[in-house]
Amino acid sequence: MTHSAPAPVPGTPAATRADARARALRTVLQGAVSTVLVAVAATVVTVVTPAEVIDWTALGVAVATAAGTALAAYVQRRLEGVGQ
C-alpha cells in the first residue's frame, strides 16, 4: 500500500518552489513550441526558395531565448514568493 505525500501548504517555500517549477516547465514547453514553429517556417521557406539554407545559428538563438525566458520566469516567481 502506498501513501501519497501531502501537497505543499500554499504560501510556504515548498509551495513557491513547486509553483516556480510548474511555471518554468510551462514556459519551456511554450518556448519549445515557438521554436518548432520557427523551424517549420524556416524549412518551408527553404523548400519554397531553393537557394536559401536553414540558419541554424538563428534557430539556436531562438532555443536559447526560450530557455532563458523559462529561467527568468522561475527566478522571478521565486523572488516574488520570498516575502510571503
Integer Cα distance of 39 and 61 in angstroms? 12
Q: What are 20-75's pLDDT values in tens digits?
A: 888 888 888 888 888 888 888 777 777 776 666 777 787 788 778 878 888 888 88
- Contact between 74 and 21 under an 8 Å Cβ cutoff? The reply is yes
> Where residue 3 falls among pLDDT bands split at 50, 70, 90?
low
Residue 10, pLDDT > 70, answer no
- Residue 20 CA to residue 82 CA, distance in Å, equals 12
Q: What is the structure's pLDDT at 21?
A: 85
Which residues does 62 contact at the CB level (< 8 Å), separation at least 6? Answer: 34, 35, 38
pLDDT of residue 28: 83
Q: What pLDDT does 8 receive?
A: 64
